[in-house]
Amino acid sequence: QARQAGGDTLVHYSEEINAQAGARLALEARLRHAVERHELELHYQPQQSLADGNLVGFEALVRWRRDGQLVPPDQFIALAEESGLIVELGNWVLEEACRQLHAWQAMGVAPMVAVNISPRQFAAPGFLPHIEALLATSGVNPAQLELEITESVVMEDAEGAIALLRRLRELGLTLAIDDFGTGYSSLAYLSRFPIHKLKIDQSFVRNMQGVAEQAAIVQATIGLGHSLGLTVIAEGVETEAQRALLSGWQCDQIQGYHYSRPLPALAASRFLHASDQRQAA
């Protein structure tokens, strides 16, 4: 009886694996055409300076419009990364973000626009040439284009990654470490990264008030960032209480639902103009 039950479980289990593999292949096939079918779009999440309350820029976040539904990136970025599709997808994101940035520049406003770069995209041989070509053709000011990389890019080839970051910095780009504190990079490496900005991961911000250790980590990270000459931004700030704490700890910037959710391009333009007028007033 027991063996029977065990056998059934195994059958169900392998059926489930087959179904999952099938769904995955189907998803990959659709994702392969998402770029050419114009199914991808960027939303822009505002980032705020804590010193004066002004808008500093936006993080571009990709979405996949599939059958009228907006699919969030955690449902396809990992697959794109594993299948190699991330290079084409990532190039589209960079081009679209530059197009938007240029349009904003042409309207006389100059926000930063940050783009997420996945580890495989960063490691691809064509990455630097693509960025160089993009800067040459798009007409954007490189200082207003920010690249977000995670600590994991240095896992395999730290020296190569540092050299590439240096080249990107020489092009005038702004460089940020995303999800800081969740990876495995050592502090020794951090001090060697030629970066401008640290993004404190939202998992620390979420528990900052309840858990004393998490508060200590956030405060220490702000101090560490500043002592390395970096701008520090906290991600996932959802409440006024969190904003006030971070402000008291001299954190430079915040990003999160408290200031704004990610916005479609048109709404982001309106947000930009509204804050521009507030600043001028």
Using rule CB under 6 A, residue 118 touches ligand C2E:
yes
Q: Does 93 bind ligand C2E (CB under 6 A)?
A: yes
Among 46, 111, 225, 256, binds ligand C2E (CB under 6 A): 256
The stretch among 17-25, 101-109, 137-145, 236-244 that binds ligand C2E (CB under 6 A) is 236-244
Binding segment (CB under 5 A) for Mg ion, from list 5-13, 25-33, 97-105, 234-242: 234-242
Residue (179 or 222) nearer to ligand C2E, CB: 179
Return d(Cα 242, Cα 234) in angstroms, integer: 10
Q: What is the DSSP letter of 251?
A: -
Any contact of residue 116 with ligand C2E (CB under 6 A)?
Answer: yes
Please, which residues bridge with residue 271 across strands? Answer: none
Structure tokens, 13 = 């289990």
CA-to-CA distance for 216 and 204, rounded, in angstroms? 10
Residues 83-122 that bind Mg ion (CB under 5 A): 116
CA–CA dist 150, 178 (Å, integer): 5
Distance of CA 19 to CAs 77, 80, 144, 249, Å? 20, 19, 45, 49
Query: Choosing among Mg ion, ligand C2E, none, which partner's interface includes residue 265 (Cβ < 5 to 8 Å by kind)?
Result: none
Q: Which is nearer to ligand C2E, 146 or 235 (CB)?
A: 235
Distance CA 80, CA 27 (A): 10
28 touches ligand C2E by CB under 6 A: no
Closest of 269, 215, 243, 238 to residue 53, by C-alpha? 243
- Of the residues 31, 34, 77, 176, which one makes contact with ligand C2E according to CB under 6 A: 77
First to last CA, the chain: 79
243 in Cβ contact with 50 (< 8 Å): yes
Q: Which is nearer to ligand C2E, 107 or 147 (CB)?
A: 147
Contact call for residue 178 and Mg ion (CB under 5 A): yes
Min CB(80)–ligand C2E separation in Å = 8
Residue corresponding to tokens 């999440």: 45
- Cα 96 to Cα 136: distance, rounded to the nearest angstrom: 15
Q: Say if strands 263-264 and 40-49 run parallel, antiparallel, or are unpaired.
A: antiparallel
- Residue 151 touches Mg ion, criterion: CB under 5 A: no
Binding test (CB under 6 A) with ligand C2E, winner from 50, 55, 56, 61: 61
Between 151 and 235, name the residue whose CB sits nearer to Mg ion.
235
Within 8 A by CB and 6+ apart from 220, the residues are: none
- Contact between 47 and ligand C2E (CB under 6 A)? no
The least distance separating ligand C2E from the CB of residue 70, rounded to whole angstroms, comes to: 10
Return residues touching ligand C2E (CB under 6 A). 45, 61-62, 72-74, 77, 90, 93, 116, 118, 178-179, 202, 235-238, 255-257, 262
Return residues touching Mg ion (CB under 5 A). 116, 148, 178-179, 235
